[in-house]
Amino acid sequence: MTYTALALLGCVIVVALDLWVFRTRLVTRKVFWTAYAIIVFFQLLTNGVLTGLRIVRYNGDAIIGSSTPGTFGNATDAPPPFFGDGRIAFAPVEDLFFGFALVTLTLVLWIWLGRRGVQREPRSGPPLFPRRHRPSR
């Protein structure tokens, strides 16, 4: 399977889990999309650094675009184009789909587990009344 197919399949599976399995309906909330816009900004920033500096490289056969270098000449270490050829901020557009699936699944599970009461006991943080300082009755 290509990176494109896996990223799109991940999005479909996560949305199905959100709407029909866990029933959190997170993707129907305005607050989710507002928060996700902030996440996408930082995802593009991180992807741009990692892919633009060629720390992370992609096989052109597995993504929508190609792996040909950008406008920096014909050097093999030249970064890919910043925008175009299936890329946004140097990274393949599939990274946005994959990131959406990862972030959304994490939030869906967080909400679902919170509804089920996971981690309510023991409570995190210091006790409200330490044993030696409990008020007398």
**Is 134 a residue whose pLDDT tops 70?**
no
Note the pLDDT of residue 119. 64
* Averaged pLDDT for residues 95-115: 94
* Averaged pLDDT for residues 12-18: 98
What is the Cα–Cα distance from 58 to 51, expressed in whole angstroms? 9
Answer yes or no: are the C-beta atoms of 78 and 72 closer than 8 Å: yes
pLDDT grade for 73, boundaries at 50, 70 and 90: very low
pLDDT grade for 74, boundaries at 50, 70 and 90: very low
**Is 77 a residue whose pLDDT tops 50?**
yes
At CB < 8 A and 24+ separation, what contacts does 57-61 make?
58/3, 58/92, 61/2
pLDDT tens for 16-58 read 999 999 999 999 999 999 999 999 999 999 999 998 888 888 8
* Averaged pLDDT for residues 77-95: 84
What does the domain layout of the chain look like in residue ranges? 3-115
**Is 67 a residue whose pLDDT tops 80?**
no
58 Rama sector, left if φ>0, alpha if ψ -120 to 50, beta otherwise: beta
